[in-house]
Amino acid sequence: MKTFFPINQFQSLKTPFYYYDTSLLRETIDCINKEAKKYEKFCVHYAIKSNANPKILSIINEGGLGADCVSGGEIRAALNAGFPNDKIVFAGVGKTDWEIDLGLNNNISCFNVESIPEIEVINDLATAKNKIANVAFRINPNVGAHTHANITTGLAENKFGISMEDVDKVIDLTLGMKNVKFVGLHFHIGSQILDMNDFIALCNRINELQEKLYARQIIVNSINVGGGLGVDYQYPDRQSIPDFATYFATYHKHLRLRPKQTLHFELGRSVVAQCGSLISRVVFVKQGTHKQFVILDAGMTDLIRPALYQAYHKIENITSEEPIETYDVVGPICESSDVFGKAIDINKTHRGDLIAIRSAGAYGEIMASQYNCRELPKGYMSEELI
Ligand code: LLP
């Protein structure tokens, strides 16, 4: 069954653009809240990096999620959308001084720290403001996730986090600092993870680390397990809301929280991916030597995931009911990697048809670029087009 797209309204909009089904977004947030609230100590943050469209952010803020930021720009976007400062956390391997200052000035709830030099700088900048910054250590648990190599983050070879071996040293150092308070542990093993065993492996590493810290009588207030829950790119309409029930239950079952500890999540993709589609118009249908090409007005500048990660996104012709034909669907950019899909079966396509590239709500609009001097795509909400 095809999703409903308001094609009449689309005809007057300049393509390409992102279209967000806000009913699906709201239902997704309701489901997250319903499932997370089964466990009183679970707090869910939204990873702003996956989509920072201001209207999307304000819907997510209304839904009560906190914000996970990785830059000063994201902190500003979160504050502008109304996220309360005490629900904002700030991660990232290379926080610059102005970004740390922005976090300090706004009394954000926690800095997720990734190295020793970073803790020293946060302590210095906090001292200058006579403030105490809450810090959590991002630990690299050396857990591999069964996902694309470019989006695996929790292995020792990745640049992220502090290694398990260095944890004691970092804690000792921090305990000796006056203007930082060690409040938590932070982890993130990767993205688009569908195998719950990967999250179980993370839980096991966290349990081991907690035991080690407990032996030193250290119990942190919060454990943050990052994001990573994947979505069904093959069949976006089959389970358009990811299985949050199993995801939260997995953590509940396998992670041993200490009394009073809270468990934080930073979900990005699973919140916004399925509500967004990139809508594009067919510029030409071209007969090649061995195949036929559908050439769109959208390119890798609008949605870079296929070119960058060989990611699959379902492609649909939403204005044709004609018999299925096979095409390579490509963009207009002067790069041979500007391909959305090869040998794709879609309804027979003509110049002027509208094409929907599905599951594009996460890491789509936000990763758009202006390469080839192109305009950035706009984003429209379903509730605005009615
Ligand atoms: N927390 C941290 C520390 C992260 O690095 C990320 C994503 C998240 C949370 C959110 O993860 P999610 O729930 O969305 O999997 N551009 C890539 C994905 C990069 C993910 C980076 N970190 C893509 O298009 O697949």
- Residue closest via CA to ligand 1's atom 23 equals 363
| Distance (Å) from CA 178 to ligand 1 centroid | 32
User: What confidence score (pLDDT) does residue 154 get?
Assistant: 57
Q: Which atom of ligand 1 is nearest to the CA of 191?
A: 15
Q: What is the pLDDT of residues 230-252, one digit of tens each?
A: 999 999 999 999 999 999 999 99
d(CA 231, CA 20): 16
Minimum mean pLDDT range among 176-180, 212-216, 367-371: 212-216
Tokens of 253: 């079952």
| Distance (Å) from CA 50 to ligand 1 centroid | 7
| Interval 278-291 mean pLDDT | 96
User: What confidence score (pLDDT) does residue 295 get?
Assistant: 98
| Distance (Å) from CA 270 to ligand 1 centroid | 10
User: What confidence score (pLDDT) does residue 161 get?
Assistant: 84
To the nearest whole percent, how much of the chain has pLDDT over 90? 91
More confident residue, 154 or 29: 29
Amino acid at 148: H
| Interval 355-369 mean pLDDT | 98
User: What confidence score (pLDDT) does residue 320 get?
Assistant: 97
Mutate which of 225, 266, 267, 270 for ligand 1? The one with the most ligand atoms within 8 Å of its CB, which is: 266
| Distance (Å) from CA 187 to ligand 1 centroid | 12
Rounded to two decimals, the pTM is 0.96
User: What confidence score (pLDDT) does residue 151 get?
Assistant: 56
Q: Which atom of ligand 1 is nearest to the CA of 230?
A: 15
| Interval 171-189 mean pLDDT | 95
Mutate which of 191, 266, 302, 359 for ligand 1? The one with the most ligand atoms within 8 Å of its CB, which is: 191
Residues with CB under 6 A from ligand 1: 47, 50, 68, 91, 151, 153, 188, 191-192, 226-229, 266-270, 305, 309, 363
d(CA 111, CA 90): 5
- Residue closest via CA to ligand 1's atom 1 equals 226
- Of the CATH numbers 3.40.47.10, 3.20.20.10, 3.30.70.260, 1.20.1560.10, which one belongs to the domain with range 22-271? 3.20.20.10
Q: How is domain 274-384 classified at the CATH fold level?
A: Lyase, Ornithine Decarboxylase; Chain A, domain 1 (2.40.37)
Q: Over 50: is that where the pLDDT of 1 sits?
A: no
As beta bridge partners, residue 42 has 263
Q: Which atom of ligand 1 is nearest to the CA of 50?
A: 14
| Distance (Å) from CA 266 to ligand 1 centroid | 9
| Distance (Å) from CA 363 to ligand 1 centroid | 9
Report the chain's mean pLDDT, rounded to a whole number: 95
Q: What is the pLDDT of residues 35-79, one digit of tens each?
A: 999 998 999 999 999 999 999 999 999 999 999 999 999 999 999
Q: Over 90: is that where the pLDDT of 159 sits?
A: no
- Residue closest via CA to ligand 1's atom 8 equals 227
Q: Over 70: is that where the pLDDT of 144 sits?
A: no
The full set of domain ranges for the chain reads: 22-271, 274-384
Amino acid at 284: F
To the nearest whole percent, how much of the chain has pLDDT over 70? 95
Q: Over 70: is that where the pLDDT of 366 sits?
A: yes
- Residue closest via CA to ligand 1's atom 9 equals 227
Q: Over 70: is that where the pLDDT of 158 sits?
A: no
User: What confidence score (pLDDT) does residue 145 get?
Assistant: 64
| Distance (Å) from CA 204 to ligand 1 centroid | 21
- Residue closest via CA to ligand 1's atom 16 equals 363
User: What confidence score (pLDDT) does residue 141 get?
Assistant: 87
| Distance (Å) from CA 88 to ligand 1 centroid | 16
